[in-house]
Chains A and B, each alone.
Chain A
């Protein structure tokens, strides 16, 4: 029987399937459910500084509109945002502590900040609370011409370096796919001593309601077809970076788990498939992995991780190809 354990970010996982940061890991009960159904680790739902700011602003507005609470010009009201922020942060930290006390699998906290100083503050508190590792959800969508790509990349590196200076637990960075040269940027991350990259962050998807002229959301869940983008970059990067990679987006079945590992990922993060099929789907994927390993004669996952990376694949050009050309169609590609 195959041994599915793997080492990811210095953490020992029973298997490479991680339930990613989402509503599936919002409560400790959810996390226990994921563990019970075979998850190798969980990434807690992200602590969003922006959400805290919005909630805080809302509560302060409520307080200001309530005649009975914190009269105008109250010094408590003046600094209420600190108090409310601390309450929200404390809730998250308490959850980390509870999760660590109740789960056997690694608990990876996740944080997204908009204020530069807050990354460090949240990260150090998260470490104190006992998280096994920290995933920095540094999602930056370059929708403005004000910052060029170098500025944005410097911003990432700056955040990671500052956080790394303050915490000793392993740090992973969840990246968006929007980089001019992802390989260049990933290599630049070596200076930050990051423990892993998660490829990729899947953003909220916009759509237009043409009847009501509204911008709405769509495609809440990923589709299996989205795996290709992740697969390409895992394969390309795994030969060129020293840190671990986790594949995320489009991983809906055990076969795709295997593909990502073959490409070079040490672990995969799964969400949409679990939303669709339930936590029990983790076990289904693990069975596929295990059966495949048995058939192929692999006793350990390390025996085949990266076996089909960019450099090691029989035809690496398949990863590099981006155009549909007749040459390739004629030779059956």
Chain B
């Protein structure tokens, strides 16, 4: 059945039909969208407590009522992993939260994660009937997803998706970030013997080292990973595929296909004077020290500079994470330096809102020209230049144009450069014959995520450059289906031959 047909079958289930009749559409659309409870800004900047407190039962049930259970649920098309959105929301409306969580897990291995970090306003919620047809605020799909996942976790009865009988075929997943975890989950469901190889000592990739505790507590990631372990997925940490062992080595150990989700962990810099001064970090390094290596915690040896005047260069989610982390580490002045305007910032609206509430200073239409250091080689100042938005460039975005003569100096003791990432070159360089794009990403067939080497599939940032958790997960799922098709075809050919 096609997804449209499946959604239609679900919609026609008796309980759904009864639920629709239980309340008029006009009553549903008259309800206000729920506001996610938040820890007050002045309190939350003193710790790494999660900012969003989560919906209460009543709030979630009421918000679920706003969903009109559309005949053509366009929200689903906005979800990169294809969650059956109306199906889980309507389960929440009936109070069957466990069932809601099960629906989520049919297509999403990490619902507690996605409910927290997805840019829903650009995805599912942008396609909601409220947004598209009524020009009203959409259903809080992300908040509801988080609610269902959290409820299940807190209940202690965490559902483990069913898996097919083991087929004895070994598949390796390189990288334990969202792409790898999603691929591993789907492959395990299909009965494959899955091993996830992770270079770091912790499983989770960017979910652990990149996204701060105040947005995504690491303990939640561990819960989701534990479900995968219960499904039979094996994890090997401190294992660098391409160095610890090559792909050929692993093939010799019986792995018949590979999913490469090694990510884009190479930070981009601006290459301006002074960028090599002590105290100038990439956001990757800064966040990894704090999130993964405990730099902000007592008793941990990892040093991190708790600057008083911290500048973060960039306007994306990682920049917001970095500057808000700096605030929590005690910065008196935590600044975002971004060369375009607020309207053009790529960060999630919620992250920007939270950052403003927490006292982050936004120097938009500003760009650094150089960093100045002291005799010890420590950064002490930066030279900024003001920008104005000029004519649109070829991409249609208004180009930031330097304003000559507008340069000025700002005191800083820590600078975090957060202007994006490039793919980790290790895998592309270690496999001869692997097609690589001009951006250093792996080229794949979009239909099944297969690379130029038939037994290698890839997804996530190694294919997309810097992207999102949910897009990576979508790739992982698609690749899992691609791997299954590849291995099945290979088996058929072998059977025919012999």
A residues adjacent to B (C-beta < 8 A): 57-61, 63-64, 67-80, 82-83, 86, 89, 115-117, 121, 124-125
Contacts and interface: CB of A to CB of B under 8 A. Distances in A.
B477 to A, nearest CB: 15
A83 B420 contact: yes
A78 B316 contact: yes
B402 to A, nearest CB: 6
Contacts of B421: 76
B83 interface: no
Contacts of A82: 268, 270-271, 419
Interface stretch (B152-160, B179-187, B426-434, B465-473): B465-473
Contacts of B464: 68-71
Nearest to A71: B467
B268 A79 contact: yes
A49 to B, nearest CB: 13
16 contacts: A63-B439, A68-B441, A68-B446, A68-B464, A69-B464, A75-B317, A75-B418, A75-B419, A76-B420, A76-B465, A77-B466, A78-B344, A78-B346, A78-B419, A86-B270, A117-B385
A128 to B, nearest CB: 11
A74 B420 contact: yes
B232 interface: no
Contacts of B318: 75
Interface in B302-330: 314-319
| 7 closest A-B pairs by CB | A75-B316, A76-B420, A76-B466, A79-B419, A73-B346, A57-B394, A70-B465
Nearest to B420: A76
A83 B441 CA distance: 14
Contacts of B315: 75, 78
Given A69-B437, A74-B316, A78-B316, A83 B446 contact: no
Contact of B346 (A69, A75, A116, A125): A75
B5 interface: no
Contact of A117 (B369, B465, B471): B369
Contact of B395 (A60, A71, A74, A76): A60
B394 A74 contact: no
Nearest to B317: A75
Nearest to B393: A57
A71 B468 contact: yes
Q: In terms of DSSP, what is the predominant structure of the interface of chain B?
A: loop
B177 interface: no
A79 B283 CA distance: 14
A126 to B, nearest CB: 13
Nearest to B320: A75
B394 A124 contact: no
A86 B271 contact: yes
Contact of B394 (A58, A68, A69, A83): A58
A59 B420 contact: no
B347 to A, nearest CB: 8
Given A61-B394, A63-B439, A121-B272, A75 B465 contact: no
B297 interface: no
A71 B471 contact: yes
Interface of B: 119, 122, 264, 268-273, 314-319, 340, 344, 346-347, 369, 385, 393-395, 402, 404, 418-422, 437-439, 441, 444, 446, 463-468, 471
B55 to A, nearest CB: 26
Contacts of A72: 122
Contacts of B419: 75-76, 78-79, 82-83
Contacts of B316: 73-76, 78
Contacts of B340: 78
A159 to B, nearest CB: 12
A239 B385 CA distance: 43
B420 A77 contact: yes
A78 B394 contact: no
Contacts of B438: 59
Nearest to A115: B402
A74 B271 contact: no
Nearest to B446: A68
A301 B231 CA distance: 85
A121 B369 CA distance: 10
Nearest to A57: B394
Contacts of A64: 395
B263 to A, nearest CB: 12
Most chain A C-beta atoms within 10 Å of own C-beta, residue among B119, B269, B419: B419
B465 A73 contact: no
Contacts of B465: 63, 69-70, 74, 76-77
Nearest to A75: B316
Nearest to A74: B466
B317 A70 contact: no
Nearest to A79: B419
Given A69-B439, A77-B420, 19 more contacts: A57-B394, A58-B394, A69-B465, A70-B465, A70-B466, A70-B467, A71-B471, A74-B466, A75-B317, A75-B318, A75-B420, A75-B466, A76-B465, A78-B314, A78-B420, A79-B270, A79-B419, A86-B269, A124-B273
Contacts of A117: 369, 385, 402
Contacts of B441: 68-69
A69 B404 CA distance: 34
Nearest to A116: B404
Contacts of A59: 438
Contacts of A61: 394-395
Contacts of A80: 420
B122 A73 contact: yes
A64 B344 CA distance: 15
A75 B319 contact: yes
A82 B271 CA distance: 8
Nearest to B394: A57
Contacts of A73: 119, 122, 316, 346
A80 B441 CA distance: 14
A162 B93 CA distance: 68
A156 to B, nearest CB: 16
Contacts of B466: 70, 74-77
A79 B314 contact: yes
Most chain A C-beta atoms within 10 Å of own C-beta, residue among B268, B270, B446, B466: B466
Contacts of B319: 75
Most chain A C-beta atoms within 10 Å of own C-beta, residue among B418, B465, B467: B465
Contacts of B439: 63, 69-70
Contact of A76 (B268, B273, B394, B437): B268
A184 B430 CA distance: 60
B119 A68 contact: no
A121 B319 CA distance: 25
A71 B465 CA distance: 9
A83 B316 CA distance: 16
A64 B318 CA distance: 20
A73 B465 CA distance: 12
B435 to A, nearest CB: 13
A167 to B, nearest CB: 13
Nearest to B422: A83
Contacts of A124: 273
A57 B395 contact: yes
A125 B257 CA distance: 45
A78 B364 CA distance: 14
A79 B395 contact: no
B345 to A, nearest CB: 8
B101 to A, nearest CB: 27
A136 B63 CA distance: 65
B463 A68 contact: yes
A149 B444 CA distance: 55
